[in-house]
Amino acid sequence: MRHTLPIAPQFYVTAPQPCPYLEGRMERKLFTALQGEAATKLNDSLSKQGFRRSQNVLYRPSCTDCSACMSARIRVADFAPSRSQKRVAKRNARFSRRATSPWATEAQYDLFRDYLNSRHATGGMADMDMFEFAAMVEETPIRTRLIEYTDPTAANALSATCLTDVLDDGLSLVYSFFNPDLDKDSLGTFIILDHIAIARDLGLPYVYLGYWVPGSPKMGYKAKFAGLEVFDGNAWAPLGDPEGYDAALHPLSTDPIAEQVSRINLPDGRS
């Protein structure tokens, strides 16, 4: 009788390229394919170890001279909105939420283009066409939802969208975008607040926000959420003082890739 042994995921490293968060620095990513019957378990396990999903790939920063990018998540039980966040929730109470399967539409793409042109005109996604956008949304081997926010007072206009993965311990915001003309409404903050509410209703303990980067103004807003913790080193810990992460910007050493991979815990207990 022939027995087929499970094949452990293979990890690879990208070539260095300019960092999108900190000027003058280079980024490098450790990544593995997300596919097959074990995709859900692998995504759940590696998300708890600082990895993020992009289509059918899981990745984590692994830069040679910097360790500033830290995966961030909100402990739902410890979250309490600030006064400004309460005002954001009240200001956006008019929006209706609709959760659908991850299927791209022209209305979403038009909103996505407006968002990029306003916020990230020179970023890596600036030239993304409709087919690439559809791939970003639809190519997922795990349980993913597309959450749309529409405004009934404006002919149900689509105002914000978030691609969200459902993990075994929380919701992971893969990518969100919104109408840049509604900048004063703080829709980015509203989307996070609404996901906290969804996670609480589902009994899920965490909302994963992607990476928090000390020294990056565009990532500073994440530190404003109570109950935030970051994957620092090899464990989750409360954020604490956002100004106290100088060592991450100038680490004394960075572990070799082989050592980093050896510490990754896989779903079946292998490492």
Average pLDDT over residues 54-71: 92
Name the burial class of residue 95, with classes exposed (0-12), middle (13-18) and buried (19+) by CB atoms within 10 angstroms of its CB: buried
* Domain at 73-238: CATH code: 3.40.630.30
Longest dimension (CA), the chain: 66
Q: Do residues 12 and 32 touch, judged by C-beta distance below 8 A?
A: yes
Q: Show the beta-strand stretches assigned E in 63-153.
A: 70-75, 96-100, 144-151
Q: Do residues 161 and 178 touch, judged by C-beta distance below 8 A?
A: yes
Q: How many residues does the chain have?
A: 271
pLDDT at 1: 43
pLDDT at 174: 97
Q: Do residues 159 and 177 touch, judged by C-beta distance below 8 A?
A: no
pLDDT in tens, 146-176: 999 999 888 879 999 999 999 999 999 999 9
Phi-psi region of 250 (alpha: psi -120 to 50; beta: other; left: phi over 0): beta
Question: C-alpha 111: how far from its chain's center?
Answer: 19
pLDDT in tens, 182-197: 989 999 999 999 999 9
Domain positions in the chain? 12-71+248-262, 73-238
pLDDT at 5: 43
pLDDT at 122: 58
Rounded Cα distance, 117 and 114, in Å: 5
Q: What Å distances lie between residue 152 and 9, 88, 104, CA to CA?
A: 46, 18, 21
Q: Show the beta-strand stretches assigned E in the chain.
A: 12-13, 17-18, 26-27, 29-33, 52-54, 57-61, 70-75, 96-100, 144-151, 157-166, 170-178, 206-212, 228-232, 235-238
